[in-house]
Amino acid sequence: MVTTLYLIRHGETEGSAARRYYGSTDVPLSERGREQVRMTAAFIREIMGRKNGEGEGAILSPVYCSSLSRAVKSAQVLAGSLGVGTIAVPGLRERAFGVWEGMTFGEIRRNYPEELTAWEAGPVTYRPRGGESTAEVKKRAVKALEEILAGHRGETVPVVAHGGVNRILLCHFLGVPLKNIFRIEQDFAAVNVVEFWDDYPVVKALNVTLSFSGGVHG
């Protein structure tokens, strides 16, 4: 029995050009972001149409998403195109950056040089004050996704999350050490396709985008 996961990053957000670590801050989806998600939905429909034409049709689950509005709005656009509902899951939220929330990398380096050095030395276990570590995000995100997939075995499951969360999940599927999460790119509205043969994950596609460019940091 094969379960297919479409793991998607939300579309572009308002103010994304500033390249800030918004994390758990609830920034809105931009109109360009909505268009990116509409294009992604068309791409997914095309893939599913080809499979149906080859006799490989599968049941499509609701679109699951992070409870942050940029993911919720992206999921609603996607779900409207696919003809299903949406379900928000708090465990898929982007990492909380604590005192670093809303800052650029340069601002973090200037204002928190010692903390940044500590993070660079221990990127998996270090947490900014008031924030989460990579290991902590992995624990909740993997649990949330496993619970979603357990309820839809043999189905096709779209999930909309964030750049950081998606990188962590993809490292988990690939068996890649978490310290290497930034070796995996996640552009806005990018699609990753993972097939689960029973519980064994096979990554079929990574960071697929169409004619739009990406952004950074969830």
Phi, psi of 81 (to 5 degrees): -75, -35
Per-residue pLDDT at 36: 96
Per-residue pLDDT at 18: 79
Mean predicted lDDT score pLDDT of the chain? 92
- For residue 218, pLDDT beyond 50: no
Q: Residue 19 — pLDDT band, cuts 50, 70, 90?
A: confident
Say which DSSP state 102 is in.
T
Rounded to two decimals, what is the model's pTM? 0.92
Per-residue pLDDT at 70: 97
Phi, psi of 203 (to 5 degrees): -80, 115
Dihedral sign for Cα atoms in the order 76, 80, 82, 87:
positive
Q: Residue 31 — pLDDT band, cuts 50, 70, 90?
A: very high
- Cα Rg of the chain, angstroms: 17
Per-residue pLDDT at 55: 56
The number of residues making up the chain comes to: 218
- For residue 52, pLDDT beyond 90: no
Among residues 10, 152, 162, 217, the one annotated as catalytic is 10
Tens digit of each residue's pLDDT (9 = 90 or more) over 183-196: 999 999 999 999 99
Question: Who's near 148: CB < 8 A, 6+ residues apart?
Answer: 64, 89, 157, 159
Q: Which residue has the higher pLDDT, 105 or 48?
A: 105
Share of the chain above pLDDT 90, in %: 83
String of DSSP letters for 17-44 = GG----TTS-PPBPHHHHHHHHHHHHHH
Least confident of 8-22, 109-123, 150-164: 8-22
Show the DSSP H helices in the chain as ranges: 31-53, 69-82, 105-111, 113-121, 134-150, 163-174
The domain locations on the chain are: 2-208
Which residue, among 137, 61, 62, 136, has the nearest Cα to 92 in the 3D structure?
Answer: 137
Question: Who's near 74: CB < 8 A, 6+ residues apart?
Answer: 8, 10, 11, 29, 33, 34, 37, 65, 160, 189
Among residues 12, 31, 94, 172, the one annotated as catalytic is 94
The answer to whether residue 12 is catalytic is no
The answer to whether residue 10 is catalytic is yes
> Which one of 3.40.50.1240, 1.10.240.10, 3.40.50.720, 3.40.50.150 gives the CATH number of domain 2-208?
3.40.50.1240
Tens digit of each residue's pLDDT (9 = 90 or more) over 125-142: 999 999 999 999 999 999
Q: Residue 214 — pLDDT band, cuts 50, 70, 90?
A: very low
Q: Residue 54 — pLDDT band, cuts 50, 70, 90?
A: low
